[in-house]
Copies of this chain bind each other. A is one copy, B any other.
Amino acid sequence: MKHTITFQPDQVSIRVDKGTNLLDAALGAGVHINASCGGQGVCGKCRVIIEAGEVDSEKTENISQEEYEQGWRQACKTSVLSDCTVQIPVESRGLKRVVAQKLDMGKSDRKISALQTIPLAEGWDLNPVTMKVPVQLTPPTLKDNASDLTRLATALKRQHHIENMSVDIRCLRTLPQILRTGEWSVTATLAAAQGLGAVSSSQDKDRPSKLVRLEPGDTSGQNLGLVLDIGTTTVCAELLDLKTGKVMAEAAEYNKQAQCGEDVITRIVYAQKPEGEKNLQSLVVSSVNQVIDEILEQTGSSKRSIAYIASAGNTTMTHLLLGLETRYIREAPYVPAASFMPLVWASEVGIDVPDCVELFSFPSVASYVGGDIVAGILGSGVFQKKALTLYMDIGTNGEIVLGNRDWLACAACSMGPAFEGGGIKHGMRADQGAIEGFHINPVSLEPMIITVGRKKARGICGSGLISVLAELLSACVIDRNGKFVRDLSSDRVRPGRFGMEYVLAWAEDSGTGHDIVITEVDIENLIRAKGALFAGCLTLLESLSLSFSDLDRVIIAGAFGRYINIEKGKRIGLFPDIPVEKFHFLGNGSLLGSRLLCLSRGMLGDIEGIAKMMTHIELSDNSSFMDKYMGALFLPHTEAGFFPDVIKHLDANCQLIHNERKTS
């Protein structure tokens, strides 16, 4: 159910879902409300008056009883229940005059939820990669004393049409006891009969027929799958109920390998040291075990219920997880040990799950286009549709795929981890307290910040960094070189150890007890990152004689948190200046693809098809890429022609703001 919220005195309206938080609604509408504590309700700066309509709101300490009766509320603690008219008093706006409409800082913004717009692959059915079936055996007699295993195989064939059952030796070791404990009524977990080939993952599209676990009684209701995204910076996991297809829990942790180097190159260098590879393997496994523990704690599920793990990551991460040599990934001509990985037992690489849990690794395309991209292309269905699609995965590296159901080309550009918060002074993952929404009053320079979980700010996540950079630019706090404008009359802009910086949250409003800032060095890193991605997209398009205007769709994947703001991404030159309707936000594409495989083993063939179909275009020895990269080190770009709408907006805003600043 949708309601219209009208913000006064700007007279700006937005249609939102019933129950939407008022601060979120204002940010969505481009209406500035001062907000320092991230939405926790403690700073008391976001006071508004509900003039009409029904809201659900806590009375907080920052509102007196008298004010409460007059309609005063804290926006961050208020959700809308009907059409509303909301008055924002001057002290909450920090602007005396009505400027929002003219500044064009809101309304047309399109914020995409990862959960609402997933352009899923089609044609899959719920047919999980591991099966768990109850089975009843006839007890043996002297006249019928076939072996336990033969007896079980016969029953599985009769009761579940499972042909040619095979068995893992470790499972076989438990068989006689479990059959008798269960009084000949047991539950069999069946997995893929064999590993993947060297050049193929499709050898096992048939029904699972390898017995990997046996439990007494009927436990077939508990069949869980785990999906892992092994990122250079972050390890994410989801726990899936393979019976229903539901995601039961999710968790993320920093990849502990970060202590050995921030990006894949430094990790590969580290791996050459004595014990280096072994250490890196242990560190990533330790991170994986940590997310598994968190997920199980959330759901109260037992490790024993996990029957399958699907993992995707970039090529280096996948190699390090499996203990493979990475050296030649880094040295020209950039050759990985393998693209298609064999199935292994998760416990063999150190993952703390029971024996006989298969670990599937998504195949990679090249040294810098990994299984996470193959998984994303699988999950997003790019390979199934006619629409010409640009798929961008923004992680520690930027990977881009261009194509449709007929062809796929890909490239990797070294963005660095900036948009994951790496190399950013207060960068962080989209965890509790991460600034994800940001607006700035262009005159007072007071911020409006919304954090993940509505906690006091602890740092800035990917989508927050896009917002901060775009808003600082729109509000003429930084110039198009990414440098802070001089002579701004606010103590929030100040010199710091890493050049000038802007204080997003003062120590007393922050969750860390320290000022949360963004520095000029942070901004340089962000510009280099977005410049590399843009140059990569452009090079890939041009190498196929295409341009941005030919694109039917742009799919953005990455760990940005729940939302991404396309307009703001365009404003800083991260995304191309094409209609927002063409954009889709996938969230973590790697997890999405892994999830799809777990639920629908028929996708194995598609995975192989994608990995084999994708043509890799090497940017590292492409001189045109370097030229394009240099041109993109500007906000949004040195060539105005690439971003006509953005430039127009920025020019108009700038004029207005300078006037405002003079008059205020």
Can you list, as one digit per residue, whether each of A602-623 has a CB less than 8 Å from chain B (1) or not (0)? 0000000000000000100100
Q: Chain B residues with Cβ under 8 A from A168's Cβ?
A: 342
CB-based nearest B residue for A345? B169
* Residues A348 and B169 in contact, CB atoms below 8 Å apart: yes
Task: Write out the residue numbers on chain B whose beta carbons fall within 8 Å of the beta carbon of A335.
Answer: 140, 145-148, 151, 176
Would you list which residues of chain A between 122 and 174 have a CB under 8 Å from chain B? 140-142, 144-154, 164-169, 172-173
A166/B194 contact (C-beta < 8 A), A177-B325, A325-B177 known: yes
Residue of B nearest to A336 (CB): B147
- One digit per residue, 1 when the CB lies within 8 angstroms of any chain B CB and 0 when it does not, for chain A 483-502 equals 00000000000000000000
Q: Tell me the residues in window 298-342 of chain A with beta carbons closer than 8 Å to chain B beta carbons.
A: 322-325, 327-328, 332-342
Q: Give the top 5 A-B pairs by smallest Cβ distance, nearest first.
A: A149-B338, A153-B198, A176-B325, A145-B333, A147-B339
User: A198 contacts which of B144, B166, B194, B338 (Cβ < 8 Å)?
Assistant: B166
Instruction: Give the residue name and chain of the B residue nearest to A339 (CB).
Output: B147
Q: Which residues of A contact B (CB under 8 A)?
A: 140-142, 144-154, 164-169, 172-173, 175-177, 180, 193-200, 203, 211, 322-325, 327-328, 332-342, 344, 348, 364, 366-367, 618, 621
User: What residues of B have a CB within 8 angstroms of the CB of A148 in the complex?
Assistant: 328, 335-338
Q: Name which residue of chain B comes closest to A367, CB basis.
A: B145
Contact across chains for B194 and A147 when beta carbons are under 8 A apart:
no
A333 touches B142 (CB 8 A): yes
**Docked complex Cα distance between A200 and B211 (Å):** 14
* Known A172-B324, A176-B327, A333-B142: A196·B340 in contact at CB below 8 Å: no
A324 CB contacts on chain B under 8 angstroms = 172-173, 176
**28 examples of A-B residue contacts, CB within 8 angstroms:** A140-B335, A141-B333, A142-B333, A142-B618, A145-B335, A146-B339, A147-B337, A148-B335, A149-B198, A149-B338, A149-B340, A150-B198, A150-B339, A164-B200, A165-B199, A166-B197, A167-B198, A169-B341, A169-B342, A172-B322, A172-B341, A173-B323, A173-B325, A175-B337, A176-B324, A176-B337, A180-B328, A198-B211
Query: What residues of B have a CB within 8 angstroms of the CB of A147 in the complex?
Result: 335-339, 364
Contact of A165 among B141, B197, B323 (CB under 8 A): B197
Q: Nearest CB to that of A612 among chain B residues?
A: B150
CA distance A165 to B196 in the complex (A): 9
Q: A166-B196, A169-B342, A176-B325 are in contact. Are A149 and B337 (CB under 8 A)?
A: yes
Kindly name the residue among A180, A196, A199, A322 whose own CB sees the greatest number of chain B CB atoms within 10 A.
Answer: A199
Q: Which B residue's beta carbon lies closest to that of A144?
A: B333
- Whether B348 and A149, one on each chain, are in contact in the complex, defined by CB atoms closer than 8 angstroms, is no
Compute how far the CA of A169 lies from the CA of B360 in the bound complex, rounded to whole angstroms: 12
* Nearest Cβ on chain B to A382's Cβ, whole angstroms: 23
> Among the interface residues A152, A153, A338, A621, which one has the most CB atoms of the partner chain B within 10 A?
A338
Q: How far, in whole Å, are A550 and B266 apart by their CA atoms in the complex?
A: 80
CB distance from A488 to the nearest CB of B (A): 49
Residues of B within 8 A of A339 (CB): 146-147, 149-150
Beyond the given pairs A151-B335, A166-B203, 6 more chain A to chain B contacts, judged by CB atoms under 8 angstroms and listed by A's residue number, are A147-B337, A147-B338, A147-B364, A150-B339, A153-B198, A193-B194
Q: In the bound complex, how far is the Cα of B322 from the Cα of A203, in angstroms? A: 28
Nearest-neighbour CB distance to chain B for A268, whole angstroms, equals: 12
Task: Provide the bound-state CA to CA distance between A234 and B420, in Å.
Answer: 64
- Name the one of B154, B194, B621 contacting A194, with C-beta atoms under 8 angstroms: B194
Q: Are the CB atoms of A325 and B175 closer together than 8 Å?
A: yes
A48 to B166, CA, bound (A): 66
Most buried by B among A154, A203, A328, A621: A328
